[in-house]
Each structure stands twice: as structure tokens, then as C-alpha cells.
Structure 1
Amino acid sequence: MAAPEPQIDPFAHDGPWTEADVLALPVDRHVELLDGSLLVSPTSSNRHQWLSSRLWVALNEAAPPDMRALEAVNIRVGTDRLLIPDLAVIRQPDMSALVTDALAVRLVLEIVSPSNAFMDRAVKPQLYAQAGIPVHVRVELGTDEPVGHVLALDETGAYRETTSGTTITLDRPYPVTIDLAALAR
């Protein structure tokens, strides 16, 4: 009987991780990169996935021809900084690209999950703002209806909340009103 083949750990790595290292990983997981460190998240809840898919449809239905909403894409927000928002609205996206530069991103949307709440509320908004992404939408699921918080970059380069509620209205990157409560049902 042949000896079992040794298991190779795809996360075994010496030194800081780079964008190229992350893109070469042979795993199908939510792996983000922040200054040489990996951020690995578990799969989201069914409720999270359902709302994400419904939001993807709503954003694409309202999008002008030069913009697309994409789910879970790699966004380069700096050197060796790759983040994966739940949704991103991208101007003239290269559909064959593995990574999109933040300059092409007009909106990011994060649905807060218990496993990534700190990242979605505190860390990612700062990184998205530093990268110049004009609009950031954070959706809190909670126990009741989802609540959206729309944040726009101000003149200082920081996000300021422009509106919040179970129904949100965007004027940028294009006009759309989304009833989060109805989409979550």
C-alpha cells in the first residue's frame, strides 16, 4: 500500500504576503491582503448572501451602460492592499481582470457580518476613503430589517454619512432608491 501523499498547506508562507502571492493561492476563499498580512473570512450566512444577490440585481438594473455592479471582486486600495467588498460599482470594468484598481471603483458596499464587523465598520471604510472611492454603503443586518448607511467622501477625504435607513437613496454614482427591507424578504 502506498503512503498517503503529504498535505500541502496553501497558507504556509515565509515573510509578508504580496498581491502576487495572494492571487496565486490555490484556494477558493475570501482572502484579503492588508500590508503583508492575510485576512481570511468564513462564508457568509444565507441571509447575507440573499441580500447581496438582490442588491447586485438592483444596482445593475439602475446602472448606466458604462458601469457594472460586481460581487466579491478584488479591489487594490494600495500597495499590497487587496480588499473584497460584498459589492462594487465599477466604471468600465475589465471583465477579464483579477484585480480592479480603486480609481475605477465608484461605490463599495459591505454587508456587516458578525465575523467581520470590526473590519467592515472601522478598518475598511478608512482604507476605501484613503483610496478615493467616492461612496461607501454599509448595511447592518441586525435582528430586524436591514439598515443602510450611505457615506460619501467629503472635501477632507473622509467619509460622512449622507443618509441611513431601511430605504436608501443614492445620487452617486447614479440615481437609485433601494428598499433594503423589501429586498431582504
Structure 2
Amino acid sequence: MEAGCGGGYMCVARRRPAQLSTMSAVLRAVVLLSAAGALLADVNVMKDVTLGFGQALDKCRQESQLSEEKMEEFFHFWRDDFKFEHRELGCAIQCMSRHFNLLTDSSRMHHENTEKFIQSFPNGQVIARQMVELIHGCEKQHDLKEDHCWRILHVAECFKQACVDRGIAPTMEMMITEFIME
């Protein structure tokens, strides 16, 4: 502390430019680390939601006529090269969504139930609203498709891309690590 300075905000005004520059750099680093921590929390919540949602896959495999091979593919949902081209995957997502009561009678997202489902995971409240908004935006883009399985598949593709664009998609490394640990 400078001599004769009581420690108040006036002391800052008397500091040399080099000291102010250092303080500014430290403040920027703290802000960036906080943002990175929040982003990592979002990614971890997304990982947890994905794993929780995926628990219904085995129950829905037969109903959606998903082959063992396609079921294996499903575990690679977050890979960059995942293909959204098989109707059965959309049917499986529909079945899984119904299993958790996340769809209305018209096979559209039930906003309140979906938000509660996401909030049921540790720190889910952090991204629940954002996820519901992303899914809803994707539903609006594909609302005219009459076949529910195809529509839901395209909504899932849109949602995945929106998550990737916002940096909240879990990496395959995270997902594989979690699979191994379970």
C-alpha cells in the first residue's frame, strides 16, 4: 500500500500505469476462469442429462425397432460425425421421451416436465431453461413434418448442433469416461 493512502478507491487513482495494467490483467483472468468454470459446469450437466436420458434406450429398443447395431451407434450421439439418417433413431428418442413423460399427446416437448427432468440432475437448474428453449426452437423449425419419428430425429440433430454452437455439448471423451466408470 502506498504511504499516506488509506486504502480507499483514491489509492487506485494514484497507482502507476504498470500496477493498473497488472490489476487489469488479473481481473480479466478471473473473469475468464469464471466463465470457463461455468461452461464446464454446463457441459457436465449436459453429460449427466444425456446419460440419464439414455437409461431408457434399452427399454425402447424393441418398440422402436432399433437393431443392436443402431443401438450401438446411438451411444455416439455427441460425435462430430454422428449421422441423423435412420428413422428408428427418431422413434427411439420419441419412446425415451415418453418414458420420462417429456412429450405431449401430440409428440411435442412438454416444457414443464422437460425442465423438471433436467433440473433433477446435479446443477441441472443451470441449463434447464436454455435446453428447453433450444429444443423448442428446433421443434418450431421442424413442426411441419408429419411423421413424428422423422420430425423428432431432425429436432435432435438441430438440438445437438445448437449445443455444439454454444459450447455446451459434452465431448465423446467425457461420455466414454463416464461409461467406463459406470
Q: Do Structure 1 and Structure 2 share a fold, with TM-score over 0.5?
A: no
Normalised-by-shorter TM-score class: under 0.3
Bigger proportion of residues as helix: 2
Bigger proportion of residues as strand: 1
Larger Rg: 2
| TM-score calculated relative to the size of structure 2 | 0.28
| TM-score calculated relative to the size of structure 1 | 0.27
**Bigger RCO (CA 8 Å, 6+ sep):** 2
